[in-house]
Amino acid sequence: MAPILPESVEELRATGNQSFRNGQFAEAATLYSRALRMLQEQGSSDPEKESVLYSNRAACHLKDGNCTDCIKDCTSALALVPFSMKPLLRRASAYEALEKYPLAYVDYVTVLQIDDSVTSALEGSSRMTRTLMDSFGPEWRLKLPSIPLVPVSSQKRWECLPLENHKETSKSKSKETTTAKSRVPSAGDVERARALKEEGNELVKKGNHKQAIEKYSESLWFSNLESATYSNRALCHLQLKQFQEAVKDCTEALRLDGKNVKAFYRRAQAYKALKDFRSSFADINSLLEIEPRNGPARKLRQEVNRILN
């Protein structure tokens, strides 16, 4: 008796997944292609499902060394669902294999904006940084395309996506987080972090807070040990009215340096905007214990005190 052929998009995808796991990448790619055609013929408006199929087929191309088609499929997947983790990682790997290092760097760094504990992206961005520095020297960043700023709504998105036929995001989250936090930055990492922070500072002076956040975030991927980088990014979040993010960054800054007066002041401002006036008042008092004559802090305390009373 002939085997029963899959008749639905879901069955085709499931059969493709099994073929992929068995190492039959060309067969899996064919099944994903049939599923895509079926989905498109049905006129289904399900971008999530279509994006996953493109991403899965891209994984097959990558395994077979067909990097050009892998890049095309990943780009199609990302057009349907921007900032999806797997197509970004697969496209980065394909760009790297084709020695398109600036493009690979951008994709790895974009992944790190979504989740800064993904080991393959951390290692890939460090690898690309070394390669680009060796190729272009200190001005290597001038060779980069623009790095997209990932919205907060897309961060951690990968946790909600189906776990399909590839292992780049399947490691334990806690294990990755532990690895990222325990990684001691090298002297080169610290220097790159410092340079990126300075680039962020220059952008702040020009009022370009969104791009400054990007630079501070990139700096923190290389070294997350400098309190001032967190408090500087918090300033940008305040300017963009992202008050919860400002609180988080100030808290991290104070964990690293309990006397960072800017972190106390900015967190107090953020708490005030969030109408958490008691927390704001507590932060101002902590700041004034360190700098009793700090004028802006004394003024802010008067404002918060009036609200509380």
Q: pLDDT tens digits for 47-79?
A: 999 999 999 999 999 999 999 999 999 999 999
Chain center to CA of 167: 18
Burial of residue 261 (number of CB atoms within 10 Å: 0-12, 13-18, 19+): middle
Is 180 domain-assigned? no
Phi-psi region of 181 (alpha: psi -120 to 50; beta: other; left: phi over 0): alpha
Domain boundary among 113, 146, 179: 146
Q: Provide the residue range defining the domain that includes 20.
A: 9-146
| Domain at 56, CATH number | 1.25.40.10
Which spans in 3-66 are helix H? 9-21, 25-41, 47-63
Is 30 domain-assigned? yes
pLDDT tens, position by position, 102-121: 999 999 988 888 887 788 88
Residues 113 and 219 in one domain: no
pLDDT band for position 278 (50/70/90)?
very high
Q: What pLDDT shows up at residue 56?
A: 96
Q: What pLDDT shows up at residue 164?
A: 43
Q: What pLDDT shows up at residue 3?
A: 53
Residues 198 and 287 in one domain: yes
Residues 105 and 209 in one domain: no
The structure tokens listed for 89 are: 């990682």
Domain boundary among 94, 117, 146: 146
Is 181 domain-assigned? no
Residues 122 and 234 in one domain: no
Residues 15 and 140 in one domain: yes
Give the rounded percent of residues in the chain with a pLDDT score beyond 70. Answer: 87
Q: Mean pLDDT: which of 159-163, 194-198, 262-266 is highest?
A: 262-266
pLDDT at 172 over 90: no
